[in-house]
Amino acid sequence: MDGAEFHAAVYDTVRLIPPQKVTSYGHIAKLIGMPNRSRHVGQALKFLTAETTPPVPWYRVISSSGTISSRGPGTTGAQNQSNELEAEGVEVTVGRTGEMKVDFSVYGWFPEPGSI
DNA sequence: AATTTGACTGACA
DNA sequence: CTGTCAGCCAAAT
């Protein structure tokens, strides 16, 4: 599997995430069959943002601790991501420091590899 | 060619 | 709760 196939595998897996559900980078990597490529999942996702067909719901992928990665100062990305999630009906908890969290016990999606 | 970076994770203090 | 450390690897510097 080369870089392009890795990208395609990530996109396909992200598209499998059901509405109103979220999962983590590490689990995406696991589903692909490469549990130690969590960082590259993030790299593949940042390369998106452009309109793809069909679209990739990248905003349903967050860190394993249930928090949305801030990626840079300002209200870029992360704020938009929480907006998208709330639009889907996912409850996003925001603390006083701007921390954005999603309750995995309610919205988490972690199927076993091979069950999909 | 060598070093650093990064939308990460898990374990531990 | 916060912070540190090690493991991971393609891409960027």
Give the pLDDT confidence of A41-66 residue by residue, as tens digits.
999 999 887 688 899 999 999 999 99
Using the CA of A64, give the nucleotide whose C1' is nearest: B9
Using the CA of A6, give the nucleotide whose C1' is nearest: C10
* pLDDT reported for residue A78: 80
* pLDDT reported for residue A17: 97
* pLDDT reported for residue A75: 65
A36 touches strand B (CB under 7 A): no
A10 in any annotated domain: yes
Domain count, chain A: 1
How far is the C-alpha of A109 from the C-alpha of A20, rounded, in Å? Answer: 9
Q: Which residues of chain A have pLDDT under 50?
A: none
A79 in any annotated domain: yes
Nearest to A88 by CA among A53, A58, A54: A58
* pLDDT reported for residue A98: 82
Mean pLDDT for all residues in chain A: 91
A13 in any annotated domain: yes
* pLDDT reported for residue A41: 96
**DSSP letter string, A35-72:** TT-HHHHHHHHHT--S--SS---GGGEE-TTSBPP--S
Residue span of the structural domain in which A53 resides: 3-107
Looking at strand B, which nucleotides approach a protein CB closer than 7 A? Answer: 6-10
